Chains A and B, each alone.
Chain A
Amino acid sequence: MSAPIDIKGFTNDTLGWKAWLDVVSLDTATPEQMAVLEESHPKAKVSDYYLFLVHQPEILKQRSVAFNAIMYAPGGMPRAERELGATVVSRINGCVYCASVHAQRFEQLAKTQDAIIEVFTEPQAAGTTPRERAIVDFSIELTANPGEVNAQSIQKLKDAGLTEPEILDLIHSVAIFAWANRLMLNLGEPIFPSKESS
Chain B
Amino acid sequence: MVDAKNTDTVDRLVGLIEEDQTYQVRHQRDKVVAATQGSENGLFDPTLDGLTVTERLYVALFACVLTPAPELTKEYAERLIRLGADTEIIDFVSAGALESIQSPRLHTILKFTHTLITDPVKADRQALLALPQAGLSTPEVVTLAQLIAFVSYQVRLVAGLKAMKALEKSA
Contact = CB atoms under 8 A, between A and B. Distances in A.
Interface string A77-100: 000000000000000011100000
User: What DSSP secondary structure best describes chain A's contact surface?
Assistant: helix
A21 B120 contact: no
A31 to B, nearest CB: 17
Contacts, number: 165
A59 B29 contact: no
A155 B167 contact: yes
A151 B163 contact: yes
Contact of B69 (A146, A150, A179): A146
B145 A183 contact: yes
A144 B141 CA distance: 25
Interface string B42-68: 110100100000000000000000011
A80 to B, nearest CB: 18
| Closest 8 pairs between A and B when the two form their complex, measured CB to CB | A171-B160, A94-B121, A66-B35, A151-B167, A175-B156, A182-B149, A178-B152, A69-B31
Interface of A: 20-22, 52-53, 55-56, 58-63, 65-66, 69-70, 73, 76, 93-95, 142-143, 146-147, 149-151, 153-155, 158, 164-165, 167-169, 171-172, 174-176, 178-183, 185-187, 189
Interface of B: 21-22, 25-26, 28-29, 31-32, 34-36, 38-39, 42-43, 45, 48, 67-70, 115-116, 120-121, 123, 125, 127-129, 132, 138-139, 141-143, 145-146, 148-150, 152-157, 159-164, 166-167, 170
